[in-house]
Amino acid sequence: MRSGELLYDEELLRSELLSIVPPGYKIRPLSIHDYKKGLMECLESLTVIGNVTEQMFVERFLKMKSKGSYYVTVVVDEVKDKIVATGTLFNEFKFVRSCGTVGHIEDIAVHKDYQGKKLGAIIINNLKNIAIKIQCYKITLNCNNDNIRFYEKCGFSLKDNQMTLYLNGTQKL
Amino acid sequence: MRSGELLYDEELLRSELLSIVPPGYKIRPLSIHDYKKGLMECLESLTVIGNVTEQMFVERFLKMKSKGSYYVTVVVDEVKDKIVATGTLFNEFKFVRSCGTVGHIEDIAVHKDYQGKKLGAIIINNLKNIAIKIQCYKITLNCNNDNIRFYEKCGFSLKDNQMTLYLNGTQKL
């Protein structure tokens, strides 16, 4: 896969942690050619996907790439050439903390047939490494009560409460 | 103030809600000339500011502006020409929810001498209006237990837990 087709520089994934990806799997940045590779099926376990056409996927990919702030990462089953886990890191620029940068983790999802293989933890650890390399001073994420223990094992601590407001008649999930 | 000096298009603040800003105060986007106007003193009530020189402020402002995703909004005491409240909305582009957009609210702060004047709620309501105009399907923020009631009054509901991981030896606050 050519580097221009990837959402971010694959070099950011180089580390000793890569060795913990199980045989038969590969971790890489999202590619512009991934529409039919199963990303949406992974994300379905999280929330409403809605209608995402190939054109919408490509346009959103290019918008994310143009911002230079999105690190959507996928684990691929190499035999089936299928995305089986995904997670997003994006960085937020602040004035506080000497104009510091915060990494936000969003949309961690593992395909239902591939759970129990530690693929979620592998995604998190790699996003954590990227956050260090792009010089975030902290990483933050929101999770429900059932996932607190998982994120504690990944090194996170409970801090505050997430509050949300749904707009334009969108249904809460 | 010229529009090119502002972080985002001031038109996004036009609405009937503007009428609730108390006399003697003005709400507007952050300006590139705001370094000496008291933004950092407001933010000091939240977390560590660190060393932010005027050059760092300007560079960070320009980075935020180039991303086109940051809506840092300030309330100014017009007599003193001083920033007395601030809040940030930024938008995150997703694949879920038909390639939806989430608004994140961060760094809501009111100068200690100006608390109790509803300036925080004015900032939140204006950021909420911007989120609707830029077509976010939801707004999300994190807060400590003491601020839950305030955000409930602003229309938010408790959803999940925030978890954080501090990197590179940064101290938690």
A-B contacts at Cβ under 8 angstroms: 217
The average pLDDT across B13-22 equals 75
Scanning A6-140, the segments in alpha helix (DSSP H) are: 39-43, 54-67, 96-99, 119-133
Q: What pLDDT is stored for residue A14 in this prediction?
A: 84
What does residue B125 show for φ and ψ, rounded to 5 degrees?
-65, -35
Task: Provide the pLDDT for residue B123.
Answer: 96
Q: For position B47, what pLDDT does the model report? A: 87
Two tokens, residue A54: 């190939």
pLDDT digits (tens, 9 = 90+) for A1-38: 677 799 999 999 987 665 578 999 999 999 999 999 99
Q: Is the pLDDT of residue B173 over 60?
A: no
Mean pLDDT, all residues of chain A: 93
Q: Domain B3-153 is of which CATH architecture?
A: 3-Layer(aba) Sandwich (3.40)
What pLDDT is attached to residue B62? 97
The separation between the first and the last C-alpha atoms of chain A, rounded to the nearest angstrom, is 36
Would the pLDDT of B17 be above 90? no
B65-88 mean pLDDT: 97
- Cβ(A119)–Cβ(A75) below 8 Å: yes
CA closest to A55 among chain B residues: B99
Summarised one tens digit per residue, pLDDT across range A74-118 is 999 999 999 999 999 999 999 999 999 999 999 999 999 999 999
Question: Do A163 and B142 make contact, defined as CB atoms within 8 angstroms?
Answer: yes
Give the pLDDT mean for A36-47. 92
Q: A interface mutation test: which of B143, B162, B171, B172 has the most A CBs within 10 A?
A: B162
**Are A160 and B140 within 8 A, CB to CB?**
no
- Given a contact cutoff of 8 angstroms between Cβ atoms, the answer to whether A123 and A76 are in contact is no
Chain-chain contact of B144 with A161 (C-beta, under 8 angstroms):
yes
What pLDDT, on the 0 to 100 scale, is given for residue B1? 67
Q: Is the pLDDT assigned to residue B150 strictly greater than 60?
A: yes
Residues of B in contact with A60 (CB under 8 A): 93-95, 99
Please give the pLDDT value at position A84: 97
What mean pLDDT, rounded, does chain B reach? 93
8 Å CB contact between B92 and A104: yes
| HEC profile of A89-101 | EEEEECCHHHHCE
Question: Domain A3-142 falls in which CATH fold?
Answer: Aminopeptidase (3.40.630)
Q: Are B52 and A156 within 8 A, CB to CB?
A: no
* A170 pLDDT higher than 90: no
Predicted pLDDT of residue B57: 97
Tell me the nearest-neighbour CA distance from A118 into chain B, angstroms. 20
pLDDT for the residue numbered A15? 77
Of B60, B140, B172, the CB nearest to A93: B60
pLDDT at B31: 97
Task: Tell me whether residues B142 and A159 touch, CB distance under 8 A.
Answer: yes
Q: Are residues B164 and A51, on separate chains, in Cβ contact within 8 Å?
A: no
pLDDT band at B168 (very low <50, low <70, confident <90, very high): confident
Residue A157, pLDDT > 90, answer yes
Kindly provide the b/e burial profile for residues A95-112, where b requires at least 16 CB atoms within 10 angstroms of the residue's own CB: bbbebbbbbbbbbbbbbe
- Inform me whether the pLDDT recorded for B15 exceeds 60: yes
- pLDDT for residue B2: 72
Shortest alpha-carbon distance between residue A22 and chain B (Å): 26
Task: Measure CB to CB from residue A60 to each of B93, B144, B160 and give the nearest one.
Answer: B93
Query: Does ipTM top 0.85?
Result: yes
Q: Mean pLDDT across the stretch A141-149?
A: 96
